[in-house]
């Protein structure tokens, strides 16, 4: 279902609601669509456009979007207040939102990259040619990439706030994440994604584990399932992999 949103200064744009995994995904789309710097969001304009989109959502679909809308309006109000006399101690009300968007953007880019890689592999086979199946066929994962992304988004929202200029990015460690997943599943038949990440995962930890899980699921080494749309992601040891 295509829905018109508030227009930009020079042109309107159209939103496809089915494409978004959550409020951060929608926000990121609005920002990218208008080529806005994440670190300098025009919060008034973005808040109005966000409200225009969720206005047409049915109530049972809009709960998480309404929560984000309230958060955006709060920031909008704070931005309208006069600066304190001691401006050096003033903290930009957008700082926490910027942090969350930057971290979510990292996850989105990794997932998009994985999808492109999967598409490239599919294009290698000519039309009408079906590749030979592996010797051992395993059922496909019950969790889509979008569902995994939604779970990651909720985990990102739980990360503690950090002073942005002190954040030093660490390189991804997908090999270490793969080993950790395999070690846990050697001792247990299944584990929840949140438990696997631990109490205080960094954004690097989350991305590393996501990539490792997608690759292990592709190889049939693990199963991914989810009881409902907002339930925990369950990682299950594949019986055939255990026997291999």
What CATH code is carried by the domain that includes residue 175?
1.10.10.580
Percentages helix, strand, coil for the chain (3-state, rounded to 5) are 55, 10, 35
* pLDDT confidence of residue 4: 42
Whether pLDDT at 142 is above 80: no
Burial of 159-186, coded b for 16+ CB within 10 Å and e otherwise, reads beeeeeeeeeeeebbbeebbebbeeebe
Tokens read off for 97: 């939102």
pLDDT for 25:
86
- Residue 150 falls inside a structural domain: yes
Rounded CA separation 234/222 (Å)? 10
Q: Beta strand 14-16 with 2-4: parallel, antiparallel or unpaired? A: antiparallel
- Based on the domain organization, do 149 and 57 belong to the same domain? no
How many structural domains are present in the chain?
2
The residue from 32, 58, 80 where one domain ends is 80
Which pLDDT does position 86 carry in this prediction?
65
Cα angle 38-42-43, degrees, rounded to a multiple of 5: 95
Q: Which residue has the higher pLDDT, 142 or 227?
A: 227
pLDDT of res. 217: 82
Q: Of 67, 69, 35, give the one whose Cα is nearest residue 49.
A: 69
The answer to whether residues 222 and 215 touch, using CB atoms and an 8 Å cutoff, is: no
Q: What does the pLDDT read at residue 13?
A: 45
216, 181 in Cβ contact below 8 A? yes
pLDDT value at residue 184: 92
Q: What pLDDT is stored for residue 88 in this prediction? A: 67
Q: Indicate whether 94 belongs to any domain.
A: no
pTM of the model: 0.51
Pick the closest to residue 156 from 111, 112, 97 (CA basis). 97
For residue 81, what pLDDT is reported? 73
Distance of CA 33 to the CA centre of its chain: 18
Categorize the per-residue pLDDT at 183 as very low, low, confident or very high, splitting at 50, 70 and 90. very high
Higher model confidence: residue 96 or residue 205? 96
**Which residues span the domain enclosing 180?**
140-243
Q: What is the mean pLDDT of residues 87-98?
A: 80
Residues contacting 91, CB < 8 A, separation 6+? none
Query: pLDDT, tens digit, for every residue of 39-87?
Result: 888 988 888 888 887 776 654 456 777 788 888 888 888 887 777 666 6
């Amino acid at each position: 279902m295509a829905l018109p949103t508030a227009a930009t200064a020079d042109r309107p744009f159209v939103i496809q609601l089915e494409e978004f995994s959550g409020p951060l995904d929608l926000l990121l789309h609005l920002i990218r669509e208008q080529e806005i710097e994440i670190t300098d969001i025009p919060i008034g304009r973005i808040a109005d456009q966000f409200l225009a989109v969720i206005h047409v959502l049915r109530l049972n679909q809009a709960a998480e979007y309404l929560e984000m809308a309230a958060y955006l309006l709060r920031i909008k109000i704070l931005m309208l207040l006069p600066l304190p006399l001691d401006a050096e101690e003033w903290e930009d009300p957008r700082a926490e939102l910027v942090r969350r968007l930057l971290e979510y953007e990292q996850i989105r880019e990794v997932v998009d990259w994985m999808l492109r890689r999967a598409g490239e592999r599919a294009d290698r086979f000519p039309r009408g040619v079906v590749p030979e199946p592996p010797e051992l066929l395993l059922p496909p994962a019950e969790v889509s990439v979008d569902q995994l992304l939604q779970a990651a988004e909720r985990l990102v929202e739980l990360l503690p706030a950090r002073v942005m200029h002190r954040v030093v990015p660490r390189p991804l460690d997908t090999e270490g994440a793969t080993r950790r997943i395999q070690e846990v599943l050697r001792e247990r038949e299944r584990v929840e994604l949140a438990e696997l990440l631990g109490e205080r995962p960094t954004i690097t930890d989350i991305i590393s584990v996501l990539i490792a899980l997608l690759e292990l699921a592709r190889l049939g080494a693990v199963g991914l399932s989810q009881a409902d749309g907002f339930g925990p992601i369950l990682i299950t040891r594949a019986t055939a992999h255990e026997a291999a």
